Chains A and B, each alone.
Chain A
Amino acid sequence: MENNPYRPIKAKIENVITETGNIKTFVLKPEEEIEFEAGQFMQVTVPGMGESPFTPSSDPKNKGSIEFTVMRAGAVTSKLHSMKPGEYIGLRGPFGKPYPISTFHGKDIYIVGGGVGLAPLRALLFALFHELDHLNKIEVRFGSRSPKDISYRDAIPEWGKKPKMKINITVDIGDPSWKGNVGLVTTILNDGDVNVKNAVAIVCGPPIMMKFVNKRLLDMGFAGSDIYLSMEKNMSCGIGKCFHCNLGHYLCCKDGPVFTWDQIKDIPEPW
Chain B
Amino acid sequence: MADRDRLITKENLEQLVRSLLAESRVIAPVRSFDGLALEEINGSSIGKIELSGYRTVESFKSWLFKPVEIVSDYFGPEVGSKAPKLVFFGVRGCDAEAIETLDNVYLEGPTREAFYEQNRKQITIITADCTDCGKTCFCNMVGSKPYALKIFDLNLSPVKDGYAVEIGSDRGREIVERNSSLFAETTPEVEREKVVSRQRMVNRLAENNAAFKLKLDLTEILRRNLENKFWKVLTKDCVECSSCNFICPTCSCFVLLDSPAAEGGRRDKAWDACLKAGYTRVAGGANPRGKLFERLQNRYQCKFDYSHARQGRYTCVGCGRCIDGCAGNIDMRKILVELERQVPLTAKLK
| Interface-side segment among A49-57, A61-69, A159-167 | A49-57
Do A77 and B254 touch across chains, with their CB atoms under 8 A apart?
Answer: no
Kindly state the separation between the CA atoms of A6 and B78 in the bound complex, as whole angstroms.
11
Q: Which residue from chain A places its CB closest to the CB of B269 in the assembled complex?
A: A6
Central interface residue in B227, B267, B286, by most chain A CB within 10 Å: B267
- Which residues of A231-263 are within 8 A (CB) of B? 233-234, 236-237, 239-244, 246, 248-249, 254
Contact with A along B4-17 (1 / 0, CB 8 A): 00000000000000
Interface size class of B (residues with CB under 8 A): 35 or more
Measured in the bound complex, the distance between the Cα atoms of B111 and A19 in whole Å is: 36
Q: Could you say which of B69-77, B190-198, B209-217 contacts chain A?
A: B69-77
Q: B280 an interface residue at 8 Å Cβ cutoff?
A: yes
Is B328 engaged at the interface, CB distance under 8 Å to the other chain? Answer: no
Looking across the interface, which residue of chain A has its beta carbon closest to that of B263? A47
Name the CB-closest residue of B to A206.
B286
Are A234 and B75 within 8 A (Cβ)?
no
Specify which chain B residues have a CB less than 8 angstroms from the CB of A2 in the assembled complex.
114
Closest-CB distance, A93 to chain B (whole angstroms): 11
Q: Which of A6, A241, A268, A269 contacts B267 (CB 8 A)?
A: A6
A244–B272 CB distance below 8 A? yes
Say whether A234 contacts B115, CB under 8 Å. Answer: no
User: Which stretch (B145-153, B172-180, B303-311) binds chain A?
Assistant: B303-311
- For B305, the chain A residues whose CB sits under 8 A away are 249
The answer to whether B274 and A243 touch across the interface, beta carbons within 8 angstroms, is yes
- B80→A1 contact, CB < 8 A: yes
In the assembled complex, the CB of A17 is this many whole angstroms from the nearest CB of chain B, namely 21
Bound form: Cα–Cα A164–B155 in Å: 68
Main secondary structure of the interface of B (DSSP, over half): loop
Q: In chain A, residues 118-153, which have Cβ atoms closer than 8 Å to a Cβ of chain B?
A: none
Q: A6 CA to B258 CA in the complex, in Å?
A: 11
Q: Does A155 contact B (CB under 8 A)?
A: no
Are B256 and A48 neighbours in the complex by a CB distance under 8 Å?
no
Residues in A with CB closer than 8 Å to B306 are 246, 248-249
- Flag if B255 contacts A236 (CB, 8 Å): yes
Q: Does B233 sit at the interface, judged by CB under 8 A?
A: no
Query: Complex: how many Å from CA A234 to CA B112?
Result: 21
| CA A244 to CA B252, docked complex, whole Å | 11
With A and B bound together, what is the CA distance between A266 and B301 in angstroms?
A: 14
**Contact at B258–A45, with CB atoms within 8 Å?**
yes
In the complex the two chains form, what is the Cα distance from A13 to B274 in whole Å?
35
- The reply on B110 being an interface residue by CB < 8 A is yes
By size class, the interface of chain A is: 35 or more
Least distance between B6 CB and chain A CB atoms (Å): 38
* A88 on the B face (CB < 8 A): yes
- Tell me, in angstroms, the Cα distance from A8 to B308 when the chains sit together: 33
Contact B274 A5 (CB under 8 A): no
- Residues from chain A with a CB closer than 8 A to the CB of B310 are 249
| Known A4-B80, A243-B252, A243-B253; contact A49-B258, beta-carbon cutoff 8 A | yes
Convert B319-350 into 0s and 1s, putting 1 for each residue whose CB lies closer than 8 angstroms to a CB of A. 00000000000000000000000000000001
Contact, CB under 8 Å: B261 / A207 = no
Give the contacts of A32-53 with B (CB-CB under 8 A): 45, 47-52
Name the A residues within 8 Å of B308 (CB-CB). Answer: 249
Q: Is the Cβ of B114 less than 8 Å from the Cβ of A4?
A: yes
Residue B121 is within 8 A (CB to CB) of chain A in the complex: no
Judged by DSSP, the binding face of A is loop
> Residues of A contacting B74 with CB < 8 Å?
7-8, 10, 45, 47, 90
Residues of chain B in range 257-281 having any CB-CB distance to chain A below 8 Å: 257-261, 264-265, 267, 269, 272, 274, 279-281
What residue in chain B is nearest A77 (Cβ atoms)?
B283
For window 50-109 of chain B, which residues contact chain A by CB distance below 8 Å? 71-72, 74-75, 78-80, 105-106, 109
Whether A233 lies near B288 (C-beta < 8 A) is yes
CA distance A8 to B263 in the complex (A): 12
B280 to chain A, nearest CB (A): 6
Whether the Cβ atoms of A5 and B78 lie closer than 8 Å is no
Residues in A1-38 with C-beta less than 8 Å from chain B: 1-8, 10
1/0 contact string of B239-257 vs chain A (CB within 8 Å): 0000000000000111111
- Is B208 interfacial (CB-CB < 8 Å)? no
Report if B185 contacts A (CB, 8 A).
no
B253 partner residues in chain A, CB cutoff 8 A? 242-244
From A243, A266, A269, contact of B350 by CB (8 A)? A266
Q: Does A188 contact B (CB under 8 A)?
A: no
Compute how far the CA of A3 lies from the CA of B117 in the bound complex, rounded to whole angstroms.
11
Q: B252 near A4 (CB under 8 angstroms)?
A: no
Given the interface contacts A10-B75, A88-B264, does A239 sit within 8 Å of B110 by beta carbon?
Answer: yes
A76 at interface, CB cutoff 8 A = yes
7 A-B pairs besides A3-B114, A271-B288 with CB distance below 8 A are A7-B78, A47-B74, A48-B258, A73-B283, A239-B110, A243-B253, A244-B279
A to B CB contacts below 8 Å, 29 in the list:
A1-B80, A3-B112, A4-B79, A4-B114, A4-B115, A6-B71, A6-B72, A7-B72, A10-B74, A47-B260, A48-B265, A49-B258, A49-B265, A74-B282, A77-B283, A207-B288, A239-B110, A239-B113, A240-B111, A242-B254, A243-B253, A246-B298, A246-B302, A249-B306, A249-B309, A249-B310, A254-B110, A266-B350, A268-B227
Residues of chain B having any CB pair with chain A under 8 Å: 71-72, 74-75, 78-80, 105-106, 109-115, 118, 226-227, 252-261, 264-265, 267, 269, 272, 274, 279-286, 288, 298, 301-302, 305-306, 308-310, 350
